[in-house]
Amino acid sequence: MWTQQEQQELTQILKKYPADRKMSAVLPALYLAQREKNWLTDEDIEAVAEALDISPTHVHSVIGFYTLFRKEPTGKYLIQVCTDLPCALRGAEAFYQRLCQRLGLSPPGGTTADGLFTVEEVVCIAACDKAPCAQINLEYYENLTDEQMDGVIEQLRKQG
């Protein structure tokens, strides 16, 4: 499952850990496995387990602990909009609903038919005073307007 490039990177990652402690590399290995498509298949999880000489169950347990690892099909761009109370008071819920509509998704969100965008609501991302705010693949976007969000989406579509 690893590409040649990923295999090289995995080898570099493993060099940072003692040979009998390969399991310590589980987070960077999972990050590498997820990087290209933004989520982890069972095949990815088994490949990580095999590379680190641990069980797939162990890898699953790590994934279950970290919300940034995803086991469901996810778009290339993961748009996470905070709709927690402080942001809701600044219009984040309505902003989120409009974003879903413009991407052809029904709340509570989901993935666009072309697989490019996954949209979901999240709780506080520590930008409460700059709502509406979002993370797109962990990059922050703050004080968003519908027009700005349209521009960001258009830009990401161009990047493909």
Please, what's the largest Cα pairwise distance for the chain? Answer: 53
Residue (9 or 121) nearer to ligand FES, CB:
121
Q: How far is the CB of 128 from ligand FES (least distance, A)?
A: 3
With the CA atoms of 136, 139, 145 and 147 taken in that order, what torsion angle do they form, in degrees rounded to the nearest 10? Answer: -70
Q: How far is the CB of 133 from ligand FES (least distance, A)?
A: 6
Residue (19 or 138) nearer to ligand FES, CB:
138
Tokens of 138: 């962990």
Strand, helix or coil at 146?
A: helix
Residue (119 or 125) nearer to ligand FES, CB:
125
- Closest of 99, 95, 114, 94 to residue 153, by C-alpha: 99
Residue (23 or 88) nearer to ligand FES, CB:
88
Round to whole Å and give the CA distance between 123 and 114: 26
Round to whole Å and give the CA distance between 79 and 137: 7
Q: How far is the CB of 66 from ligand FES (least distance, A)?
A: 20
Residues in the site for ligand FES, rule: CB under 6 A? 82, 84, 86-87, 124-128, 131, 133
Q: How far is the CB of 69 from ligand FES (least distance, A)?
A: 22
Q: How far is the CB of 88 from ligand FES (least distance, A)?
A: 8
Residue (31 or 140) nearer to ligand FES, CB:
140
Q: How far is CA 11 from CA 6, 8, 97, 110, 120, in A?
A: 8, 5, 44, 35, 34
